[in-house]
């Protein structure tokens, strides 16, 4: 039986168009920093991709900095010194959402002593009063990091309102948009973020390439994370990975073109999974369901079940799902996101994430519901017998 992939938030299968584009470029020669014809051809590929990535999030193309992935982009942005309109601004503290991705929670180059973590409510939305209090208590402008969409629950944060509060205190707002890109419309100006983080492999491009997208050229981290040559307008040294960047651009362009149709398709399938599961397993809980979420993501709790055991049972049945973030060295452990939301331990330890993609079919979701019900009832039966 063909396996069914429902772990798109971990990594999206590479699009055939992006793969073909990348393979074609891998056969070409030329350093994009060279002035000869081969170098100019490589440079053209990079700049075309830069425009395609910028268009996905409605940013100036000159504000896109290519990196090796989302983690490097985050580490670049989490810098206590930013340059704004030619002047360097020192940031007194790093304020980080408690449900952020592990790369953000690590704090980048910000002094651990100057980091604070902002609480969320039971739905996973940032506590705006706590943000206000933290901004007011800071000794100067703060660096604030809040993701647009959570990678585990899919919950969307009110970024425009957060940005207003941060900028009233002359702070800098970094927004991890890795999961949101290609699933919901993104306009960096409307969001009000000073920088967005993107990752190619979440939208059907290759792994190993991402981007830090700035609101405009007038504002940027003051010190490059990777030093050396003057690539990426001095923001990130190292010869660009031309073929991977070209494929990233292709994936970004396709994601933008298909966004609304794909989002509607995914929302229908996600809602059907949840309604069908609830009809079969009334005790099931869908975290963040009361607030706006990504259209493709459902984090399912079933108190009394073990996420690790459920994962193994579903894997043996031919389904690839996750217990949450895929960035924990393959370990299955209780979600820090659910802990921050105040979810009871027994329920949090049962959480399974299902994340759909553009090729997911209705039949696949029906089969998943059946497999999940079978696995859950088998676990309950064993627990009762014990």
Per-residue pLDDT, 95: 98
Mean pLDDT computed over 371-375: 95
Give percent of the chain above pLDDT 70: 96
Q: Model confidence over 137-159: pLDDT tens digits?
A: 999 999 999 999 999 999 999 99
Per-residue pLDDT, 324: 60
Lowest mean pLDDT among 94-103, 302-311, 318-327, 368-377: 318-327
Q: Model confidence over 11-68: pLDDT tens digits?
A: 999 999 999 999 999 988 999 999 999 999 999 999 999 999 999 999 999 999 999 9
d(CA 264, CA 364): 17
From 68, 70, 299, select the one nearest 178 (Cα to Cα).
70
- Report residue 217's pLDDT band, with 50, 70 and 90 as the boundaries: confident
Find all residues with CB under 8 Å of 316, minimum gap 6, and list them.
none
Strands (E), the chain: 4-5, 64-67, 81-84, 87-90, 93-97, 115-118, 142-145, 172-176, 195-199, 210-214, 219-221, 285-286, 297-301, 319-320, 352-355
Lowest mean pLDDT among 4-13, 134-143, 270-279, 377-386: 377-386
The answer on pLDDT for 198 being more than 60 is yes
User: For residues 131 and 95, is the Cβ–Cβ distance under 8 A?
Assistant: yes
Mean pLDDT computed over 127-146: 97
Q: Model confidence over 96-112: pLDDT tens digits?
A: 999 999 999 999 999 99
Per-residue pLDDT, 386: 45
Per-residue pLDDT, 336: 95
The answer on pLDDT for 329 being more than 70 is no
Greater pLDDT, 223 or 56? 56
Per-residue pLDDT, 384: 44
- pTM of the shown model: 0.94
- Active-site residue set: 327
d(CA 336, CA 338): 5
From 361, 47, 54, 378, select the one nearest 231 (Cα to Cα).
47
92 CB neighbour count, 10 Å cutoff: 14
Q: Model confidence over 242-259: pLDDT tens digits?
A: 999 999 999 999 999 999
What is the sign, positive or negative, of the torsion defined by CA atoms of 99, 104, 105, 107?
A: negative
From 152, 69, 100, select the one nearest 321 (Cα to Cα).
152
- Report residue 380's pLDDT band, with 50, 70 and 90 as the boundaries: low
Domains of the chain, earliest start first: 4-12+259-385 (3.90.1150.10)
Mean confidence (pLDDT) of the chain: 94
Lowest mean pLDDT among 79-83, 137-141, 374-378: 374-378
Per-residue pLDDT, 332: 61
The answer on pLDDT for 385 being more than 60 is no
Tokens of residue 47, six digits? 């700049």
Per-residue pLDDT, 330: 55
User: For residues 57 and 183, is the Cβ–Cβ distance under 8 A?
Assistant: no
């Amino acid at each position: 039986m063909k396996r069914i992939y429902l772990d798109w938030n971990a990594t999206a299968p590479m699009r055939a168009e992006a793969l073909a584009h990348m393979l074609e470029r891998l056969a070409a020669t030329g350093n994009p920093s060279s002035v000869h014809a081969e170098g100019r051809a490589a440079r053209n590929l990079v700049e075309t991709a830069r425009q395609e990535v910028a268009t996905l999030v409605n940013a100036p193309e000159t504000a896109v900095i290519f990196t090796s992935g989302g983690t490097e982009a985050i580490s670049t942005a989490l810098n206590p010194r930013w340059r704004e309109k030619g002047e360097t601004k020192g940031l007194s503290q790093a304020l980080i959402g408690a449900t952020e991705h592990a790369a953000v929670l690590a704090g980048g180059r910000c002094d651990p002593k100057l980091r604070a973590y902002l609480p969320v409510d039971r739905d996973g939305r940032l506590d705006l009063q706590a943000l206000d209090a933290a901004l007011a208590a800071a000794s100067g402008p703060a660096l604030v990091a809040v993701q647009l969409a959570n990678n585990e629950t899919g919950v969307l944060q009110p970024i425009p309102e957060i940005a207003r509060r941060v900028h009233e205190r002359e702070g800098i707002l970094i927004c991890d948009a890795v999961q949101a890109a290609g699933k919901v419309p993104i306009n960096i100006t409307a969001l009000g973020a000073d920088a967005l983080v993107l990752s190619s492999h979440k939208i059907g491009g290759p792994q190993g390439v991402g981007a830090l997208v700035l609101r405009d050229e007038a504002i940027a981290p003051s010190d490059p994370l990777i030093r050396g040559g003057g690539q990426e307008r001095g923001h990130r040294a190292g010869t660009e990975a031309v073929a991977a960047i070209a494929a990233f651009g292709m994936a970004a362009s396709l994601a933008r073109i298909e966004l609304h149709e794909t989002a509607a398709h995914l929302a229908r399938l996600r809602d059907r999974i949840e309604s069908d599961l609830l009809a079969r397993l009334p005790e099931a809980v869908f975290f963040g369901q009361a607030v706006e979420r990504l259209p493709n993501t459902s984090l399912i709790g079933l108190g009394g079940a073990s996420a690790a055991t459920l994962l193994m049972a579903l894997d043996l049945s031919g389904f690839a799902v996750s217990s949450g973030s895929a960035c924990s060295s393959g370990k299955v452990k209780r979600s820090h996101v659910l802990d921050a939301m105040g979810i009871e331990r027994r329920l949090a330890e049962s959480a399974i994430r299902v994340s759909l993609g553009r090729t997911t079919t209705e039949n696949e979701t029906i089969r998943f519901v059946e497999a999940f019900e079978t696995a859950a009832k088998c676990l309950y039966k064993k627990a009762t017998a014990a």
